[in-house]
Amino acid sequence: MDRIPVELGTIQETLLITLAGRARESVKRKPILVDPKAADIMAALDNPSKKLTRGAGPDPSVLRTAIVDTWVREFLAAHPDGTVVEIGTGLNARFDRVDNGHVHWLDLDLPDTIALRRHFFTDTERRRMLVASVLDDSWYDTVSAQPGPYCFVAEGVLVYLPEADVRRALDNLAARFPHATVILDYYSPGMLRFQNRAADKGAMDARWAWTGGEPESFAAQGLRVTDARSITDPPPALRSTLPRSYRLALPVLHRVLPKGFGLAKFHTDRAR
């Protein structure tokens, strides 16, 4: 079978990092996240960049993804017929991991990523792919046509974009979709320096544009924090299911990782 070429922009290419992490995790004897689709995709891609896909041991990005999965499942437990919008979806198969048989789902990303994604995923009655950027509102009407309430997820995406543009986009999102759930990741200045040092050593070409800031800083965009935690402090629903090796690794990761590697969940309180 011919392998599928990877032709992505510099930032979009970083989806290979998390894809490879999920693939490695899925074949462990006691994984925290099972994503067989990730392994299938990795095997089908033509020479994915080795500098982005190497790694061993506990992967912080996998733990981050598992936390987001937990929060999305909690949203669906409360709103089983609601709509989830995955912003910057990459090659993530989160829908397959959390589908309750009722949720409506929109996978949103840039043209090159969606073109690659269509090799592995197909639209269905409840799940569709959208070509769009988080920085515009061209996709809002498509979301509004789906049943609410709404949950917007942006994992590993916003830090690559200019802060002023992201805050403007979040402000517009909160105004258009009041009483929605928003999930995103945030980092400290120390984590930004750590990331830049890794990039300078040739580990990756993409650079972060900002850190995301403290979760409380998004109040100006109409986002009220309902939960915020470091990835080394996962929600109880996830912590109780972690393999012993991961539970033991959490204190070590807490000491090793720069402070401020976290996730926040918000409620939108603004409307116009």
Q: Taking 80 as the threshold, does the pLDDT of residue 205 lie above it?
A: no
> Residue 237: which residues within 8 A CB-CB, separation 6 or more?
70, 73, 74
**CA quadruple 210, 255, 231, 218: dihedral positive or negative?**
negative
Q: Taking 60 as the threshold, does the pLDDT of residue 258 lie above it?
A: no
Q: Taking 60 as the threshold, does the pLDDT of residue 167 lie above it?
A: yes
Note the CATH number of domain 63-268: 3.40.50.150
Rounded-to-integer distance, Cα 63 and Cα 239, Å: 10
Residue-wise pLDDT for 125-162, tens only, equals 999 999 999 999 999 999 999 999 999 999 999 999 99
**CA quadruple 134, 200, 65, 174: dihedral positive or negative?**
negative
- pTM equals 0.93
36: cis peptide before it, omega within 30°?
A: no
Residue-wise pLDDT for 32-80, tens only, equals 999 989 999 998 998 666 655 555 555 788 999 999 999 999 999 999 9
The mean pLDDT of the chain is 89
Q: Taking 80 as the threshold, does the pLDDT of residue 198 lie above it?
A: no
E strand map for the chain: 4-5, 45-46, 83-87, 104-109, 127-131, 150-154, 181-186, 223-230, 262-268
Rounded-to-integer distance, Cα 231 and Cα 245, Å: 16
- 186: tokens are 């945030």
Q: Taking 60 as the threshold, does the pLDDT of residue 30 lie above it?
A: yes
Q: What are phi and psi of 109, to 5 degrees?
A: -165, 180
- Per 3-state DSSP, the chain is made up of helix, strand and coil in percentages (nearest 5) of 45, 20, 40
Nearest to 218 by CA among 184, 176, 192: 184
**Four-CA torsion 25, 64, 146, 215, nearest 10 degrees:** 180
Domain boundaries, the chain: 63-268
Q: How confident is the model at residue 248 (pLDDT cuts 50, 70, 90)?
A: confident
Rounded-to-integer distance, Cα 53 and Cα 19, Å: 8
Q: Taking 80 as the threshold, does the pLDDT of residue 118 lie above it?
A: yes
